[in-house]
Amino acid sequence: MKSLTLTAPGRFEWSTLPEADAPHAGEALVAIRAIGIRGTDFSGYQGKMPFIEYPRILGHELGVEVLAVGEGVTQLRAGDRCSVEPYLNCGQCHACRRGATNCCETLAVLGVHCDGGMRERMILPAAKLHPCNALSFEQLALVETLGIGCHAVNRAAVSKEDDVLIIGAGPIGLTVLEFARAAGARITVLEMSETRRAFVTENYAGVEVVASLADEPRFQIVFDATGNPRSMSGAMRFARFTGKVIYVGITKEPVVIDDPLFHRRELTLLASRNAQSPDFPRILAMIQSGQIDTRPWISHRCDFGALPEQMDAWLKPSSGVIKAVVGLT
């Protein structure tokens, strides 16, 4: 079975893994059909992702086909198309007992803390597979990334009364935009890339899109989806008194907080990590109904065999990547 391993920053190597055994009770054997490439993968490739150790098989945005199921698995059958919830949690720790499975104390995210889906087949817990045969494998691969925005907007408790700023219009910023819009908020997107500004303007009517903003506290809720420490440090200056700032992106670098500003405005600072199980069926239903359409996001595609040569090209700002998806047959 062919797999692609990131052995060190900037270096992929092909290898052959043993074929997976038959699935045990509660498991499913799946074929990987589509892999979404996002900031986590790019950061890992560049050596900037704090949770990735090498060697690592990347890939956690996955659209898969069920090949076989183990004993006791009744919700899936061979041939089902599924989105993968890539968060392997213990179910026993303090966070899990409180329902915050995304923050499990021993959480292992596929493609980050443990090997992921850049391979032809793998065994997964059946409970982490969310079937929806009405969607394409590419659509299913993007469900997990949508979960990031869904959870962030839930954390912020966005409502139609809120003026919301989203800093960064990459894939994660777009997921926040989708759910802030679903909540009825008034939205401004701050993005330096002309290509990404044009994309938001074309696809999200009624959203204000800007390349810069004055240092004015205009927004009740500010999401920073850049993973850039300088941007994250400055995000508070846009928040109104009693406002909220939510870090959706992640960085290895220190983030500096202007404490007098933070206290004077009595701001709330939140981190948002991953997504939770109930987010997945909600997102699948929203895609099926047409409320969310991620198909315009996919600006770049390649076959699995071409991925190592594409990563450096996709990292260049001139590439204009909105979202890249890798296909496996």
pLDDT digits (tens, 9 = 90+) for 111-170: 999 999 999 999 999 999 999 999 999 999 999 999 999 999 999 999 999 999 999 999
> Are 38 and 172 in contact, with CB atoms under 8 Å apart?
yes
CA distance 225 to 327: 26
pLDDT band (50, 70, 90) for residue 21: confident
Q: Which H or E element spans position 44?
A: helix 39-46
Average pLDDT on 312-318 reads 91
The tokens of 284 are what? 């699948």
| Per-residue buried b or exposed e for 208-244, using 16+ beta carbons within 10 Å of the residue's own CB | ebeeeeeeebebbbbbbbbbbeebbbbbbbbbbeebb
The domains located in the chain, with CATH, are 2-142+294-327 (3.90.180.10), 149-271 (3.40.50.720)
pLDDT, tens digit (0-9, with 9 covering 90-100), for 69-97? 999 999 999 999 999 999 999 999 999 99
The answer to whether residues 172 and 253 touch, using CB atoms and an 8 Å cutoff, is no
Report the distance separating Cα 222 and Cα 240, nearest Å.
Answer: 9
- According to DSSP, the β-strands at 61-69 and 27-37 are antiparallel
CA distance 177 to 183: 10
Q: What is the pLDDT of residues 178-234, one digit of tens each?
A: 999 999 999 999 999 999 999 999 999 999 999 999 988 999 999 999 999 999 999
What pTM, to 2 d.p., does this model score?
0.93
pLDDT higher than threshold 90 for residue 51: no
Question: Pick the residue with more confidence: 320 or 120?
Answer: 120
Contact 256, 188 (CB under 8 A): no
